[in-house]
Amino acid sequence: MTLPWGEIITKGVLIALPALWPIIAMIILAVVIKFVYRLFELKRLARSGINDIDKMDGKTFEKYLESIFMKLGYRVERTKYVGDYGADLVVRKDGIKTIIQAKRYKKNVGVKAIQEAVAAKGYYECQKAMVVTNSIYTKQAINLARANGVELWDRNDLVKALLSAKDNISLKTLAETVAITDIPDEEQGIMHSDNICNICGEIVSEKVKQYCFDHSDRFAGKIYCFQHQKGVK
C-alpha cells in the first residue's frame, strides 16, 4: 500500500523534529537576543542624548562637550571659535593638559581633523591631543592618529562619556551648565584659566598668581606654580 505524499512528509517531519529541535531553539534564541539587544541599544542611545547631539551645530557641540568634560572632572577652557589653531577645548586633569578637536559630523571624520589636532597640541603646549566626534573615523584617520598618539573618541566612546557624566548629574543641571557657557566669562565673573599653572594645570594661590603677574617680563603674563617657576628663564 502506497502512502500519500502528504502523509509521508508529515511522518518525515515528526521523525526529524527531535533531531532538529536544538537547532531550531538556537535560532529562536539568537533572534530573541538580537531583538532584546537592539531594544537595549535604543534605550541607551536615547538616555545618552546622542540623538540631540546629531541635531546640534558645531558651536553648540563644543559647548556641550565643555560641560561633559567638566562633569568628568576636567578643568576646561574653550578656545576662540575663530582662529583656534585646531583646538576647540583645552582640558586639564591630573597634571595632564590636552587639546580637544570637536567634530559634529554626519559623514566620517578624515585625516584633516587629526592633522589639526597634532598642530594644536604643539601650539597650546599640551601633552596630549584628542578628537571627539558623534560619527566614526576613516581608516586613514585612525592610522594617522595612532602614528601621532592622538586619542580618538568615536560615536560609541562619546555615548559612554555622556552616560558616565549623566550618572553624576541630572539632565536639567547639564542643560543649565551648557546654557551658562553662552554667557561671556567677564559677566560670569570667572576665567577658565584663572589661577592655573600653565604647565601642570594645578591651582595656585592668589599670592603665586600675583607674583607671576608682577614679573611679567619673566613669565610673559602666564601663571606658573612655584615648582614650575624654577624652569622658566
Q: Identify whether residues 74 and 18 lie together within a single domain.
A: no
Q: Identify whether residues 95 and 135 lie together within a single domain.
A: yes
- Quote the CA–CA distance of 50 and 52 in Å, as a whole number: 5
Render 65-120 in DSSP notation, one character per residue: HHHHHHHTT-EEEE--SSS-TT-SEEEEETTEEEEEEEE--SS-B-HHHHHHHHHH
Q: Identify whether residues 78 and 143 lie together within a single domain.
A: yes
Q: Identify whether residues 183 and 204 lie together within a single domain.
A: no
Beta-sheet pairing, 128-133 with 150-153: parallel
Average pLDDT (139-167) is 89
Q: What is the pLDDT of residues 19-28, one digit of tens each?
A: 666 777 788 8
Between 149 and 6, the more confident residue is 149
Confidence at residue 137, expressed as pLDDT on a 0 to 100 scale: 96
Q: Identify whether residues 155 and 106 lie together within a single domain.
A: yes
Q: What is the CATH number of the domain that holds 184?
A: 3.40.1350.10
Q: How confident is the model at residue 45 (pLDDT cuts 50, 70, 90)?
A: very low
Confidence at residue 97, expressed as pLDDT on a 0 to 100 scale: 94
Q: Identify whether residues 199 and 221 lie together within a single domain.
A: yes
Confidence at residue 117, expressed as pLDDT on a 0 to 100 scale: 94
Confidence at residue 132, expressed as pLDDT on a 0 to 100 scale: 95
- For residue 217, give its domain range: 195-233
Task: Give the cell for residue 190.
Answer: 570667572
